[in-house]
Chains A and B, each alone.
Chain A
């Protein structure tokens, strides 16, 4: 944190942590790294949904057969994009900060599972996911 330039957005704990980890150049401000993390999150959730959709479309298919399905490839493509984005993030932030941000994918995927696949999410499951996000966030603060 000591190396961070005294700009107003340094006051946010999350963004300040980013600078601590990485050799940031002036053209790579903190919000760019956070933006990269959020982009990774969204791509990840989209990939999950595509995978599940591919699997649901052919419940009895063997794994090799899944690769004949367009949704599987779309899911892999989106996942690949997410991984590339993730590499960019990893070069700039500590794993112990970046990984927790990725946990926002859990509630997003839960909500979308209910929406697209009619999965019934019990209150206990929501609480469980909330606790997971809480635990992962605690990681980021320490």
Chain B
């Protein structure tokens, strides 16, 4: 077991979720965004911060790939979905239905199976 690697993976996931929330926050200001406007994103602070979070999350993720199998590490990242649901409700007041919470639970079950499914 690589407890430390799992811890770093978890931190990478949390920072990735922060990035996702920042990107959504930033892009919701720019509906109908086109590639031609990509230069303008530099002035979009949340988007820039989101990209930084993505970068940091990626570096942390890279650091654990030596210890963990790709087929374990990558599916575990889906815990991010569950966190995104929780945070979308809290921060963006997005409506989260019962079936969406059930979906979150199902994802967690899947991650547990992946974790215990070492060959």
Choose from B34, B84, B110 the contact partner of A132 (Cβ within 8 Å). B110
Return the chain A residue nearest B55 by Cβ: A76
- The majority secondary structure among interface residues of chain B is helix
CA distance A52 to B66 in the complex (A): 8
Return the chain B residue nearest A127 by Cβ: B113
CA distance A105 to B62 in the complex (A): 17
B103 near A63 (CB under 8 angstroms)? no
Choose from A60, A66, A128, A142 the contact partner of B112 (Cβ within 8 Å). A128
Against B, the Cβ 8 Å flags (1 = close, 0 = not) of A86-116 are 1110111001100110010110011001100
Chain B residues with Cβ below 8 Å from A133 are 110
B119 near A106 (CB under 8 angstroms)? no
Choose from B24, B41, B69, B78 the contact partner of A106 (Cβ within 8 Å). B78
Chain B residues with Cβ below 8 Å from A23 are 31-32
B69 near A129 (CB under 8 angstroms)? no
CA distance A113 to B116 in the complex (A): 17
Q: Write the nearest CB–CB distance from A90 to chain B, whole angstroms.
A: 5
A76 near B27 (CB under 8 angstroms)? no
CA distance A21 to B71 in the complex (A): 33
Task: Rank and list the top 3 A-B pairs by shortest CB-CB distance, nearest first.
Answer: A128-B113, A135-B106, A124-B117
Partner-A contacts on B (CB < 8 A): 20, 23-24, 27, 30-35, 38, 41, 47, 51, 54, 58-59, 61-63, 65-66, 69-72, 74-75, 78, 81, 84-85, 88, 94, 97, 99-100, 102-119
- Can you sample 24 A-B contacts with CB below 8 Å? A54-B62, A55-B66, A83-B51, A87-B23, A91-B33, A92-B32, A95-B20, A95-B88, A100-B81, A106-B78, A109-B70, A109-B75, A125-B75, A125-B119, A127-B117, A128-B75, A128-B111, A130-B110, A132-B78, A132-B110, A132-B111, A136-B78, A136-B107, A138-B103
